[in-house]
Amino acid sequence: MEKAEIKSLYPEELKKRLVQFGEPPFRAGQVYEWLHQKLATDFSQMTNIPKTLKEQLEQHFTLCVLEPAEVKISRLDGTRKYLFRLADGNVIESVWMQYHHGNSVCISSQVGCRMGCRFCASTLDGLERNLTAAEMLEQVYRIQTLTGKRVSHIVIMGSGEPFDNYDQIVRFIRLISEEKGLNISLRNITVSTCGLVPEIRRFVGEGLPVTLALSLHASSDQVRKTLMPIANRYSLNEVLDACGEYFAATGRRLTFEYSLIKNENDSQAEAEALSRLLKGRHGHVNLIPVNPVKERNYVRSDRRSIEKFKNVLEKNGIPVTIRREMGQDIHGACGQLRRSFILS
Ligand code: SAH
């Protein structure tokens, strides 16, 4: 029988397994605490667990631990970019950022991605595989251990499309917000999607009031199709309606991400159209100057166009911010550290 990954289990699942071994139920609580609060990397560290049980755990479960293959630390703002090696040899990126409100980790949800957004480095080689909930938790646990600082915020905005890995993402969100674990508030978790409509609808029913961020990047279906293949499957109206359902169910205001690309989606006419599209949609726009990817010839909008774009939205009463860029000296576009590592 294939071993189960112990860190992916909910508390009640772990309890069921241990009771099957003939253990008293309280043992499950102790083991869970070692895994999700003390962030143990080996069963042998569990000092209050009997040796026989540790042997059984070893025999029946795997324990996912990520090893940093490379770390880059920004001299500008302390942002750290980690390249983690997975058990099967794949590598993924995670980023740690310090803000006045706390420390935030940006995690990857897949190795690669199959969504094909034209400006994105993570998708250039397609999807390799989904990450497990344990591998997503481990990105946070390892970073908290390595920095020695409590993580308070999570953004699921690294490589991958979270809703293309639906079951593991939901499991990850429940485990990371579990009070017997790191207990990160759902209000401090953001899930970013390119807009998979059936999964957004399904997510409405999970009862998880996180922040939903939609990657919009265009104000018309026509332009969006030139940037994001997913726009051929779902229209802007469909995806915005699904987001509206999420707002209605959770009361959580939406975020609309809009990467500004010179001469592609950054005109004032597009800002006007975007204002009309988002009027009454209960969200704010996050403008991101596009990170140029060397395999693509997209160019970042200049500062003046970005300011003008923002002013149009503001004049029309749409809340808007320009994303503060963290770790610019170590950045490159998302997914590029992994890419340069694989190709080297
Ligand atoms: N698949 C998810 C999350 C991953 S990417 C999604 O599509 O939302 C997180 C955000 O970064 C998305 O809004 C994505 O469109 C954007 N992004 C990707 N590559 C970028 C680049 N080169 N420059 C600016 N933003 C980029």
CATH number at residue 94: 3.20.20.70
Query: Which helix or strand (DSSP H or E) is residue 106 part of?
Result: strand 102-106
**Which amino acid makes up residue 59?**
Q
* Nearest atom of ligand 1 to the alpha carbon of 164: 1
Q: Is 215 found in the same domain as 84?
A: yes
Q: Is 304 found in the same domain as 158?
A: yes
Q: Is 274 found in the same domain as 318?
A: yes
- Where are the alpha helices (H) located in 148-267, listed in sequence order? 166-176, 197-204, 221-227, 236-250
* Nearest atom of ligand 1 to the alpha carbon of 217: 15
Q: Which of 142, 16, 2, 135 is nearest to 71 (CA)?
A: 142
Instruction: Report d(CA 191, CA 40) in Å as an integer.
Output: 27
Task: Tell whether the model's pLDDT for residue 194 goes beyond 60.
Answer: yes
| C-beta of residue 210 within 8 angstroms of C-beta of residue 173 | yes
Q: Which residues contact 92 (CB under 8 A, 6 or more apart)?
A: 83, 84, 86, 108, 111, 131, 135, 139, 158, 159, 338
- Residue of the nearest CA to atom 12 in ligand 1? 215
Between the CA of 120 and the centroid of ligand 1 the distance, in Å, is 6
- pLDDT band at 65; cut points 50, 70, 90: very high
Between the CA of 63 and the centroid of ligand 1 the distance, in Å, is 30
Instruction: Specify the higher pLDDT residue, 296 or 197.
Output: 197
Instruction: Report d(CA 252, CA 244) in Å as an integer.
Output: 10
Q: Is 109 found in the same domain as 21?
A: no
Using alpha carbons, list the distances in angstroms from residue 16 to 9, 20, 35, 179, 247: 10, 6, 16, 19, 36
For ligand 1, is residue 291 a contact (CB within 6 Å)?
A: yes
Q: What is the pLDDT of residue 330?
A: 83
For ligand 1, is residue 84 a contact (CB within 6 Å)?
A: no
Q: Is 36 found in the same domain as 170?
A: no
* Nearest atom of ligand 1 to the alpha carbon of 160: 1
For ligand 1, is residue 117 a contact (CB within 6 Å)?
A: yes
| C-beta of residue 195 within 8 angstroms of C-beta of residue 234 | yes
User: Which of 62, 91, 111 is where one domain is finished?
Assistant: 62
- What burial class does residue 238 get, using C-beta atoms within 10 Å of its C-beta: 0-12 exposed, 13-18 middle, 19+ buried? middle
Instruction: State the CATH number of the domain containing residue 29.
Output: 1.10.150.530
Instruction: Report d(CA 24, CA 125) in Å as an integer.
Output: 48
Instruction: Report d(CA 183, CA 36) in Å as an integer.
Output: 9
Percent with pLDDT over 90 in the chain: 90
Please choose from 164, 166, 192 the residue to mutate so as to test ligand 1's pocket, defined by most ligand atoms within 8 A of CB: 192
**Domain count for the chain:** 2
**Token pair belonging to 60:** 């029946």
Q: What is the pLDDT of residue 334?
A: 64
Q: Is 105 found in the same domain as 41?
A: no
The number of angstroms, rounded, from the C-alpha of 191 to the middle of its chain's C-alpha atoms is 6
User: Which of 44, 62, 80 is where one domain is finished?
Assistant: 62
Please choose from 111, 161, 211, 215 the residue to mutate so as to test ligand 1's pocket, defined by most ligand atoms within 8 A of CB: 215
Check if 93 is active-site.
yes
Domain of 29 in residue numbering reads as 4-62
User: Which of 35, 62, 89 is where one domain is finished?
Assistant: 62
- Residue of the nearest CA to atom 24 in ligand 1? 290
Q: Is 124 found in the same domain as 16?
A: no
What are the tens digits of pLDDT across the range 251-265? 999 999 999 999 999
Q: Is 302 found in the same domain as 167?
A: yes
For ligand 1, is residue 155 a contact (CB within 6 Å)?
A: no
Q: Is 130 found in the same domain as 54?
A: no
| C-beta of residue 98 within 8 angstroms of C-beta of residue 79 | yes
Q: Is 300 found in the same domain as 320?
A: yes
- pLDDT band at 292; cut points 50, 70, 90: confident
Q: Which of 293, 284, 291 is nearest to 322 (CA)?
A: 284
Q: Is 247 found in the same domain as 208?
A: yes
Could you tell me the pTM of the whole model?
0.96
Q: Is 331 found in the same domain as 210?
A: yes
* Nearest atom of ligand 1 to the alpha carbon of 213: 8
Q: Which residues, listed in sequence order, are joined to residue 261 by a DSSP beta bridge?
A: 300
What are the tens digits of pLDDT across the range 30-42? 999 999 999 999 9
Between the CA of 103 and the centroid of ligand 1 the distance, in Å, is 21
For ligand 1, is residue 264 a contact (CB within 6 Å)?
A: no
Query: Which helix or strand (DSSP H or E) is residue 85 part of?
Result: strand 80-85
